[in-house]
Structure 1
């Protein structure tokens, strides 16, 4: 195990330990993709967005960084999602990969309008890129 791997593993352990100690372990993921109060599981009227598969780049950060997002929609619900990391820096790539692995369980089955990610898998930057990509996808799917 390299020194960088050990540092990342230690940081993950400390973050997870702190989250469990403060009672935030499940709320980080649960809050991130939770449907809004108005999302009662069934949309009234006809769908707002076209069904199909949509792709967009999501941008975030000062450098800037990006991720690829592919979403499949049916009746305004996300039925599938894929996040493609684009980072070249090893630390950023690890964070993007953890984020990509966590996203499907947070958003699949949700109404696209109720999804807004905040902090996922210890990551606060990449969710901003996901939200940016989702906004682009919504614009494309509504035209």
Structure 2
């Protein structure tokens, strides 16, 4: 009986360690999909509404299990930071990345057009969560370029 109790405790400890490792691993993969400091930028108030209106483009990159991928983002920005037009083109050449980029492209306009660039926090669109990391990278570049 003593041996059975010890085995049960070791099994529970091993299960807990595996669960923790799996959760930590998932958190690391999801973390890059949050917008890089955009919400914090709007919190200071000083530069949140002052942009040079016009057309902007940037390429954002992100990591996948298959390697580094990228997306091209073209948008039109108003002086108050409102996005009025958006075009996202993925650069994947096959496999899962191409599929997920296609899903992302088909749903991103509804999430972004009409919103202020400093308020964006895209984490998952149409089932694609990793592509948003590249999108957020490009948005951060455009935000820096467009500040008046």
Q: Structure 2 length as normaliser, TM-score? A: 0.63
Q: How does 1:98-113 map to 2 (within 5 A)?
A: 98-113=103-118
Runs of 4+ aligned structure 1 residues displaced above 3 Å come to 43-47
- What stretches of structure 2 of length at least 5 have no aligned partner? 1-33
The equivalent position to 2:135 in structure 1, one of 115, 123, 130, is 130
Quick check: which has more Rg, 1 or 2?
A: 2
C-alpha RMSD of the superposition:
2.5
Q: Who is 1:51 aligned against? A: 53
Q: Structure 1 length as normaliser, TM-score? A: 0.66
Give the secondary structure class of the aligned counterpart of 2:145. Answer: helix
Q: Contact 2:48 / 2:118 at 8 angstroms: preserved in 1? A: no
**Which protein is richer in helix relative to its size?**
2
Q: Which whole-Å deviations, capped at 9, do the CAs of 1:27-75 have from their partners, x for residues lacking one?
A: xxxxx9xxx8xx9xxx999942110010000110052110000111012
